[in-house]
Amino acid sequence: MLRDDFVIQTNVRRILIRSHIDYSEIDFGTVRGVVYIQGVFKVGTSKDTEDIIGKTLRSLEMKIRSIPGVVDVKFQLLNWKKEKGQWMPTKKVE
Amino acid sequence: MDADKKSRIRRLKGKQVKLYKQISIEVEGKIQIYPNYADLHNQFGLLSMVEGDPEGAKSHFLEALSLNPKYREATLNLGFLYIEMKRWKEAEDIFLSEARKHPKDGFLHHTLGVLYFQTGRQKEALVHIRKAIQCHPYYRDYYKKKGVWHRGKVLLDQKRERAFKKIHLNYHYAQFHNFIGLYLARKGKSTQAVRELKKAAKLTPDDFLFHANLGNVYYYQGAYRKAIQEYKKALEIDPLYGMGYANLSYTYGLMDRTREALRYMERAVRLSPRYADLHYNLALLYSDRKRYEKAISELKKALRINSDYLFARINLGVLYEEQKKWNEARREYRKVLQITPDNEDVRRRLERIS
């Protein structure tokens, strides 16, 4: 379903604001229904384990994919990557 | 009042006191970890003041100001605290200095009026009350409502005078409820946050910030109509508040009302032209409406502000590609790949048109 990029963008924005994600180092954009998320992924507290962060990423991806009009979600994170369907940390972020 | 109602009020107050104490402990803990954060000292000052510890409040406001001498909120908080402590000279110095910096701020003149009345300097008080009325019609209505102003004259009998002298406390309590509201909002307790922010807005209805914050909490809750109402109230008070227009635009976007979203984002960009993000959002709105030249122009502006704005560059490449401007599209995609070489999506787009 075709939907305005701006409408998708505002929905992504609200999802990020409502989550426990620290989005201060995250940028996002929407290009013809494809959502890009880029930057350093952190959640609210530093105590969260990799397992919790992995789950948060899966949940974020699901929520964004469920926005009407979203064709795809591309993550370009500096500290996490998806391999064989699993989110893995790539390096520690200070 | 029936016994049930009385006991409910008592319980509510008890709950609030408990909440404020809990927040106070948390803020104090944060100060131990981050002793150089002026914000935390200002917040703790407010909490101390409401808890009835003016000396503690003073030391934290002063600490906030030693960390950041330009911290206006802490300066005003200290000034009001001095009024409360009847340290008139220190309070007068603060508000006179602020009024010189912001001569059109009605609230400062209003405060000076209150201060001079308190110290029996009626003539000076009148001058500042008149200035407050000139600055904002809100004050004329306010003084009228309180029975202080009638047909161009200030009327103060003993009862009115007592009430008038307490008016300055509104500022403090408004700041306090605003802080508590934001604190609760950050914790996801938006219903309680709304309650606190409404108290703040009621105490100083001419402060745009409280309405803007209320708008943000409603936005967070998903109560978009209420969010719009509050953002509009904030903009009535301060029509130059650029981010207020952006917030309105985002909210209309969530409601799929892109025509209004476009109108408000255009205003936001006019008022805050240095935010790359606003140009980017405006470009999306133009692009969605197939106004490609305008979209390209906004994306270029975003990139002039932040040349590493990746999505603006991808959007620009896609727009050029759709207009069959192959060279320009290739140029933008190559730049994206310089920043993120593993961007497969853009690599494929580039290969397709190479």
Domain annotation covers residue A63: yes
Give A88→chain B minimum CA distance, Å: 17
- Chain A positions in Cβ-Cβ contact with residue B285 (cut-off 8 Å): 4, 6
Of B281, B288, B340, the CB nearest to A76: B340
Q: Do residues B319 and B290 make contact, with C-beta atoms less than 8 angstroms apart?
A: no
pLDDT of residue B170: 79
Which H or E run includes B149? strand B149-150
Tell me what percent of the residues of chain B surpass a pLDDT of 70.
Answer: 94
Give A60→chain B minimum CA distance, Å: 17
Number of A/B CB contacts below 8 angstroms equals 66
- Strand order, beta sheet including A26-31: A26-31, A34-39, A72-77
Q: What b-and-e string marks burial along A17-52, b requiring 16 or more CB atoms within 10 Å of the CB? A: eeeebebeeebbbbbbbbbbbbbebbbeeeeeeeee
pLDDT of residue B334: 96
Domain annotation covers residue A94: no
pLDDT of residue B110: 87
Q: Say if residue B2's pLDDT is above 50.
A: no
- Chain A positions in Cβ-Cβ contact with residue B343 (cut-off 8 Å): 74, 76
In whole angstroms, how far apart are CA B29 and each of A44, B33, B135, B167, B324? Answer: 17, 7, 41, 32, 59
Cβ within 8 Å, pair A29-B254? no
B207 in helix, strand or coil? Answer: coil
Residue to mutate among B30, B256, B277, B336, with most A CBs inside 10 A, is: B256
pLDDT of residue A85: 82
Domain annotation covers residue A18: yes
Q: Say if residue B318's pLDDT is above 80.
A: yes
Residue to mutate among B247, B288, B321, with most A CBs inside 10 A, is: B288
Q: Say if residue B314's pLDDT is above 90.
A: yes
pLDDT of residue A47: 60
- Distance of alpha carbon B7 from alpha carbon B18, whole angstroms: 16
Average pLDDT value for chain B: 88
Q: Do residues B79 and B111 make contact, with C-beta atoms less than 8 angstroms apart?
A: yes
- Distance of alpha carbon A38 from alpha carbon B311, whole angstroms: 9
Q: Say if residue B231's pLDDT is above 60.
A: yes
Residue to mutate among B311, B323, B332, B337, with most A CBs inside 10 A, is: B311
Domain extent at residue A83: 5-89
> Nearest chain A Cα to B283, which residue?
A6
Interface ipTM = 0.90
**Scanning the structure block, which residue is given the tokens 């952006």?**
B246
**Exposed, middle or buried, B159 (CB in 10 Å: 0-12/13-18/19+)?**
exposed
User: Average pLDDT for residues A33-52, to the nearest whole number?
Assistant: 81
Instruction: Give the dihedral of Cα atoms A20, A23, A25, A27; nearest 10 deg.
Output: 140
At B7, the pLDDT band (50, 70, 90 cuts) reads: very low
Higher pLDDT, B5 or B64: B64
Most confident by average pLDDT, A18-32, A57-71, B181-195, B336-350: A57-71
Residues 6+ apart with CB under 8 A from B282: B262, B265, B266, B268, B269, B298
pLDDT in tens, B232-264: 999 998 899 899 999 999 999 999 999 999 999
pLDDT in tens, B326-347: 999 999 999 999 988 888 889 9
Domain annotation covers residue A83: yes
Q: Do residues A23 and B275 make contact, with C-beta atoms less than 8 angstroms apart?
A: no
Q: Say if residue A92's pLDDT is above 70.
A: no
Instruction: Give the dihedral of Cα atoms B170, B175, B181, B182; nearest 10 deg.
Output: 160
pLDDT of residue B322: 92
- Chain A positions in Cβ-Cβ contact with residue B284 (cut-off 8 Å): 4-6, 9, 30
Cβ within 8 Å, pair B342-A76? yes
Higher pLDDT, B151 or B25: B25
- Distance of alpha carbon B48 from alpha carbon B31, whole angstroms: 14
> Nearest chain A Cα to B185, which residue?
A18
> Nearest chain A Cα to B311, which residue?
A29
Domain annotation covers residue A52: yes
End-to-end CA, chain A: 41
CATH of the domain at A25: 3.30.1340
**Which residues of chain A approach chain B closer than 8 Å at the C-beta?**
4-7, 9-11, 13-14, 17-18, 27-32, 34, 36, 38, 74, 76
Q: Is B296 on the interface with A (CB under 8 A)?
A: no
Q: Say if residue A13's pLDDT is above 50.
A: yes
Domain annotation covers residue A24: yes
Least-confidence region, from B135-144, B200-209, B306-315, B343-352? B135-144
Q: Say if residue A93's pLDDT is above 60.
A: no
CB atoms within 10 A of CB B97: 12
At B29, the pLDDT band (50, 70, 90 cuts) reads: very high
pLDDT of residue B229: 96
pLDDT in tens, B101-147: 988 888 889 889 889 988 888 889 888 988 888 887 777 887 787 77
At A82, the pLDDT band (50, 70, 90 cuts) reads: confident
Q: Say if residue A1's pLDDT is above 80.
A: no
Tell me what percent of the residues of chain B surpass a pLDDT of 90.
Answer: 59
Q: How many domains does chain A have?
A: 1
Cβ within 8 Å, pair B314-A29? yes
Domain annotation covers residue A61: yes
Cβ within 8 Å, pair A6-B219? no
Domain annotation covers residue A37: yes
pLDDT of residue A63: 96
Domains and CATH numbers, chain B: 296-354 (1.25.40.10)
Q: Is B261 on the interface with A (CB under 8 A)?
A: yes
